[in-house]
Structure 1
Amino acid sequence: MQYRYLGRTGLKVSVLTMGTMTFGATGGFAKVGGADLKEAQRQVALCLEAGVNLFDTANIYSTGASEEILGRVLGKRRPDVLVASKVRFRMSDGPNGDGLSRYAIVREVEASLKRLGTDVIDILYLHEWDGMTPLEETLGALDTLIAQGKIRYAGASNFSAWHLMKAIGVAEARRLPRLVTQQIHYTIEAREAEYELVPVALAEGVGILVWSPLAGGLLSGKYGPETPSARQVAGWREPPIRDVARLWRIVDALREVGGAHGVSAAQVALAWLLGRPGVASLVVGGRSEAQFRDSLAAVDLTLTSEQRAHLDAVSAPPVIYPYWHQNWTARDRFGPADFTGEP
């Protein structure tokens, strides 16, 4: 296993994080498959053996069942690993059952701690933007929880770049906790993050974790135009695919490179992401031990510069405004965080 610093912090995380969204899998989360306690024990043991030191969950995953199972499985091993969870989505009825108010954050963190059977959450993510709660209130609640020793670091997930930059600005102006990481959707098929989210991370020293790096299995190489994934069949909407023909061209390229190395297309997709600027860790999940074993093996895959160039070209995102104008007129003054896609 390899480890990287999380943004500008001194915290090292494994380049692969174990995602536990499938633990419990009740309600709407049943669409992504499920792992009961015994299966979760086997999967966690496999990841621990491989050197994974970060386990990712959220209060909303199966309405707390994921946290409960993860807490039970880790047990006495909890002090030796890092646990990340999230708050924002509705967890109860009533007018204050969701959001990022001080009331909601403090209440949900305390509930998550009980479910996880732990005293502290290492990384707490704001799971989604809340445009109705002042950032001073949200960050102030995080400040309280850090001072109480209930969380160690805070991050954002699914924020836009201006949301993240505003949060950083408010934190610095009010001397409140800085968001040190963001968990975003970013794949070789979905490269929108390269317009703004990756540049702001590089410029501000915010660590990048990637959720669903295989696009819900679509980049695994197992599926094609006539063979939809199990998640698609079950009606799971994430991620949206807007150009299906382009998706399968990318999958063909992943299979081609994988064939040259004797590995799966999934490993190539993960290795490509691990080579992108700013990426600290990829959150990988799976329905079975075999899927986890395949993903874990991606750490040892080294792509050639020619293979990376081929994958970059087949998946290149369109250069939208203002980037095409900047590329034409300001490229001589670009810094390391600027978007440099070819118009």
Structure 2
Amino acid sequence: MKYRRLGNSGLKVSEIGLGSWLTYGSAVEKEKSISCIHRAYDLGINFFDTANAYNKGAAETVLKEALQDYTRSSYVLATKVFFPMGAGPNDRGLSRKHIIEQCEASLKRLGVDYIDLYQFHRYDHETPVEESLRALDDLIAQGKVLYGGVSEWSAAQLTDAVHIAKEKNLRPLISNQPIYNMMVRYIEKEVIPVSEKEGIGQVVFSPLAQGILTGKYKPNEQIPAKSRAANDDTNKWITSYLNDEVLTRVQRLSDIASGLEVELSQLALAWVLRQPNVSSAIIGASRPEQVEENVKASGLEIPASALDEVEAVLKEINDFVPIW
């Protein structure tokens, strides 16, 4: 496993991270979840990402049980705040009240004294950015959080936050967590250039496009049983990828991977990691074997000729906008 600095910070995270969205605490039973997390740790993954909103805290609880036997300093634990955690008007968003209360709740569920990376799960249009940043800065000052980040913020929103932090002498954000994969590349236009300028690293989610970029889904064929697309609890996030145009292109990408003697999933992850501004690609896994396959993408160099072939295939996918 290789490691990269997260933005301009001194924090180093594994090129492959393990996330818990749609898996741990929900679709994957606890024993299998813990097995995946343990295998990931054994293989050198040190970056574990979750959120308070993942099954209302259940994912954080699974991580607590899985990581409790390891030295706290040996892994980087990330969680998030923004989405509703109750029915009350203050049970959501990025107000100081919600941030502080949810940080305390996450610390209890995770069973730790501090969170390495605390992220704003989305942008809050109803709360002043300065209020949110000051609350985060206070948590860092108290030692309950070590670093701050965001998820799915636009280039303009990142720029605004950076300027406010500098003006008010607040600790800088070090990360952004956007969707990024071969099918969804919007961050390349503005988010990555701004992030490179301001010292913000990307920890990207859905690098395998909800499993589409494993090659398991074929054009004009039935959805495989027990796959994510066959699960009514998780398939709403994958349906936009399931069309013959996309799946036909995926088969061509699979041929490129075969020519390199790697799995399509490994090619897709290495393609994401070709971007220096990407610090980690966050995978999801329901079986330890999936973790074992995906970690092989760390350090994989894609030849320039293969990158050109990939680009030629991707240019044929027009205006693809997934649901997430």
TM superposition score normalised by structure 2 = 0.91
Match of 2:54 among 50, 53, 61: 61
How many Å apart are 1:236 and its aligned residue? 3.2
How many Å apart are 1:231 and its aligned residue? 3.3
CA contact (8 A) 1:4 1:15 kept: yes
Superposed, 1:189-338 pairs within 5 Å as: 189-225=183-219, 226-228=221-223, 230-233=227-230, 234=232, 236-238=235-237, 241=240, 244-316=243-315
How many Å apart are 1:238 and its aligned residue? 2.7
How many Å apart are 1:201 and its aligned residue? 1.3
CA contact (8 A) 1:124 1:154 kept: yes
Superposed, 1:31-70 pairs within 5 Å as: 33-36=27-30, 38-70=31-63
Deviations 1:279-334 (A, max 9, x none): 110001111112111111222533211001111222148999xxxxxxxxxxxxxx
- 2:249 is paired with a residue whose SS is helix
Q: Would you tell me which structure has more helix in proportion to its own residues?
A: 1
- Name the aligned partner's letter for residue 69 of structure 1: V
Looking at structure 1, the residues matched to 318 and 166 of structure 2 have their Cα atoms a distance apart, in angstroms, of 32
How many Å apart are 1:241 and its aligned residue? 3.6
- Name the aligned partner's letter for residue 301 of structure 2: T
Looking at structure 1, the residues matched to 146 and 87 of structure 2 have their Cα atoms a distance apart, in angstroms, of 29
Deviations 1:174-221 (A, max 9, x none): 112221110110101111111211111122121011101001101111
1:109 matched to 2:110? The reply is no
CA contact (8 A) 1:191 1:317 kept: no
Superposed, 1:122-137 pairs within 5 Å as: 122-137=116-131
CA contact (8 A) 1:13 1:53 kept: yes
How many Å apart are 1:265 and its aligned residue? 1.0
Q: Which piece of structure 1 moves more, 294-303 or 205-214?
A: 294-303
- 2:280 is paired with a residue whose SS is strand
1:151 matched to 2:152? The reply is no
Superposed, 1:81-96 pairs within 5 Å as: 81-96=75-90
Q: RCO (CA 8 Å, sep 6+): is it higher in 1 or 2?
A: 2
- Name the aligned partner's letter for residue 137 of structure 2: D
CA contact (8 A) 1:271 1:299 kept: yes
Looking at structure 1, the residues matched to 35 and 242 of structure 2 have their Cα atoms a distance apart, in angstroms, of 37
Looking at structure 2, the residues matched to 260 and 318 of structure 1 have their Cα atoms a distance apart, in angstroms, of 22
1:177 matched to 2:171? The reply is yes
Which residue does 1:334 correspond to in 2?
A: none
Q: 1:227 to 1:286 in 2, by over 3 A?
A: farther
CA contact (8 A) 2:130 2:164 kept: yes
Deviations 1:144-203 (A, max 9, x none): 100110000000101121111111111111112221110110101111111211111122
Q: Which piece of structure 1 moves more, 124-133 or 157-166?
A: 157-166
- Name the aligned partner's letter for residue 38 of structure 2: A
- Name the aligned partner's letter for residue 231 of structure 1: R
Looking at structure 2, the residues matched to 41 and 319 of structure 1 have their Cα atoms a distance apart, in angstroms, of 39
Q: 1:242 to 1:47 in 2, by over 3 A?
A: closer
CA contact (8 A) 1:20 1:57 kept: yes
- 2:146 is paired with a residue whose SS is strand
Q: Give the number of aligned pairs.
A: 312
Which residue does 1:325 correspond to in 2?
A: none
Unaligned runs of 5+ in 2: 320-324
- 2:259 is paired with a residue whose SS is helix
How many Å apart are 1:13 and its aligned residue? 0.8
How many Å apart are 1:123 and its aligned residue? 0.2
Identity %: 38
Unaligned runs of 5+ in 1: 26-32, 321-343
- 2:296 is paired with a residue whose SS is helix
